[in-house]
């Protein structure tokens, strides 16, 4: 898969030549796809390209909804708790509830995690 670095400005302005016109590295996306399950055998060249845009849209939506949570808390810095709130409040993000509530996350927040778990149990 060759990346058209010369045309990076046409699709995504300001993106470094390293990822060409895409804002995310295709090789890394392909590796994550392969690691998603042993039944994933072969991946066409188009799939990582589509994912690079899909992940961008996903990040934008998740960040936008999280920012709303931060604003409601009268803060101007986005924190992990805002992401957890956005995930809980959005149906299509249900598959992330376990992830944002997991104690394995980088940040240590026992109390917050417990509260989140309780919230999940209530709903």
Q: Which residues here bind other proteins, judged by CB under 8 A?
A: 2, 4, 6-7, 10-11, 19, 21, 23-25, 28-29, 31-33, 35-37, 39-44, 46-47, 49-51, 53-60, 62-64, 66-67, 70, 76-80, 82-84, 87, 91-96, 98-100, 102, 104-107
Tell me whether residue 18 or residue 114 sits nearer to other proteins (CB atom): 18
Rounded least distance, CB 50 to other proteins, Å? 5
Distances (CA, A) of 105 to 27, 101, 109: 25, 8, 9
Are 33 and 40 in contact by the 8 Å Cβ rule? The answer is: yes
Rounded least distance, CB 96 to other proteins, Å? 5
* Torsions phi, psi for 78 (to 5 deg): -80, 125
Rounded least distance, CB 2 to other proteins, Å? 8
* Whole-angstrom distance, CA of residue 77 vs CA of residue 67: 8
Rounded least distance, CB 118 to other proteins, Å? 19
Sequence-distant contacts of 89-94: CB under 8 A, at least 24 apart: 89/65, 90/65, 93/62
């Amino acid at each position: 898969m060759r990346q058209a670095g010369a045309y990076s400005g046409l699709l995504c302005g300001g993106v470094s030549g390293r990822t060409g016109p895409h804002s995310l590295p295709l090789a890394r996306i392909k590796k994550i796809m392969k690691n998603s399950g042993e039944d994933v055998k072969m991946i066409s060249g188009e799939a990582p390209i589509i994912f690079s845009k899909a992940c961008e849209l996903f990040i934008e939506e998740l960040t936008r909804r999280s920012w709303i949570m931060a604003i409601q808390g009268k803060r101007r810095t986005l924190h992990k708790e805002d992401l957890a709130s956005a995930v809980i409040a959005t149906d299509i993000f249900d598959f992330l509830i376990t992830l944002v509530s997991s104690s394995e996350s980088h940040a240590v927040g026992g109390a917050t995690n417990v509260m989140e778990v309780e919230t999940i149990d209530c709903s």
